[in-house]
A = this chain, B = another copy of it.
Amino acid sequence: MSDVPAVKAALKSQAVETPSWAYGNSGTRFKVFAQPGVPRTPQEKLDDAAQVHAFTGVAPTVALHIPWDAVEDYGALAKYAEERGLKLGAINSNVFQDDDYKLGSVTHPDPAVRRKALGHLLECVDIMDATGSRDLKLWFSDGTNYPGQDDIAARQDRLAEALSAVYGRLGEEQRMLLEYKFFEPAFYTTDVPDWGTAYAHCLKLGPKAQVCVDTGHHAPGTNIEFIVALLLREGKLGAFDFNSRFYADDDLMVGAADPFQLFRIMYEVVRGGGLTSGVAFMLDQCHNIEPKIPAIIRSVMNVQEATAKALLVDRDALATAQREGDVLGANAVLMDAYNTDVRPLLAEVREELGIAPDPMAAYRASGWAERIVAERVGGEQAGWGA
């Protein structure tokens, strides 16, 4: 697309959803390093998210995690968000932290535990009704650690039953996003370990069930852009959980480990119409050692840069080279876009949006970081509650 105005328009219309939990503390099983200034309430998380949106211009929604963001009045929380220029985004369920869930939630061998887990999922839909959220994101830590521990196929039956109940509860405009993950915290089987499993369930459920691709949830070497292309072709790509990894589900800033992969993914999104078809672009990251707000700003910028490069691919030239079997020529067309320095273009986009061209510098200069360290004293910092 050499049509610069169109590229800019596409970049302006892209929205990246930030996750409330990324503003709180996170860590590994070895240690959570708390950071000063971290939010203590869902409201403070929204305050921080408003900063990210203010400085990037393209992060207008915030995903919630229940119960980490549980409040009495979700309508009030939505209003709080609106007053800061934000909307509440996807509702993320949590059926992995109650003691009952040690051996599973919706796939647990005990029907009482399954009922409890399903109750939580249905409650999340209630919350969606209150917040006006479109998407229910379902990630299940369900699985087993040891061969024989439970029956693989029976767990699929139980999973299907729960998903079906939730699906039936969805409103007209609501969607269910089913996330898959290769492993962790289950270390032998995971009940939704790959896109194929998520796809098979979504297919049976119907059009309101879509697959969520977390970029850190694959086996080593997996070609993620291939999965993206396939799901788009099937009309089943609902969302991304963006982050990056060198090893496992490292949850580093998106684009930090392999910016070329992120570009290839975004190229398939552009090519498959995913920029305009309702795919949700969400971050799902853990800023264990770096300050959270600037890390999220950087992540939003990384998504933008990859998208810009993807939009700059000369698709006519690419199609010609591909048709002619010109391997090096086709690769060169793609690499030409990737090798372009798109930072000046994005600076222009930002200026046209009325914001500073360098979000990182602008945030740094704003004093927000110092302010929250000074003001957020006492109370309990938000975290995973693990």
Task: State the Cβ distance, A186 to closest chain B Cβ, in Å.
Answer: 9
* Alpha-carbon separation in the docked complex, A219 to B184 (Å): 17
Interface residue A374 (Cβ < 8 Å from any Cβ of B): no
Task: State the Cβ distance, A189 to closest chain B Cβ, in Å.
Answer: 5
Interface residue A106 (Cβ < 8 Å from any Cβ of B): no
Sorting the interface of chain A by its residue count into under 10, 10 to 19, 20 to 34 or 35 or more gives 35 or more
A residues 262-284 touching B (CB-CB < 8 Å): 264, 268, 271-272
Q: Which residues of B contact A110 (CB under 8 A)?
A: 325
Copies in the complex: 4
Complex: chain B residue closest to A188, CB-CB: B246
Q: Which residues of B contact A233 (CB under 8 A)?
A: 153, 156-157
Complex: chain B residue closest to A160, CB-CB: B233
A330-B29 in contact (CB<8A): no
* Alpha-carbon separation in the docked complex, A237 to B213 (Å): 25
Complex: chain B residue closest to A261, CB-CB: B258
Q: Which residues of B contact A196 (CB under 8 A)?
A: 194-197, 199-200, 230
Task: State the Cβ distance, A287 to closest chain B Cβ, in Å.
Answer: 9
Could you say which of B27, B109, B141, B148 contacts A318, with CB atoms under 8 Å apart? B148
Complex: chain B residue closest to A337, CB-CB: B148
Task: State the Cβ distance, A119 to closest chain B Cβ, in Å.
Answer: 19
What per-residue 1/0 map shows which CB atoms of A145-169 lie under 8 Å from chain B? 1111111110011000000000000
**Known contacts being A109-B325, A148-B330, A331-B256, is A31 close to B96, with CB within 8 Å?**
yes
* Alpha-carbon separation in the docked complex, A152 to B32 (Å): 24
Residues of A within 8 A of B (CB): 26-34, 96-97, 99, 101-103, 109-110, 141, 145-153, 156-157, 182-185, 187-190, 193-197, 199-200, 203, 218-223, 225-226, 229-230, 232-234, 245-248, 250, 252-253, 256-261, 264, 268, 271-272, 288-291, 294-295, 298, 305, 318-319, 321-325, 327-328, 330-335, 338-341, 343, 360, 384, 386
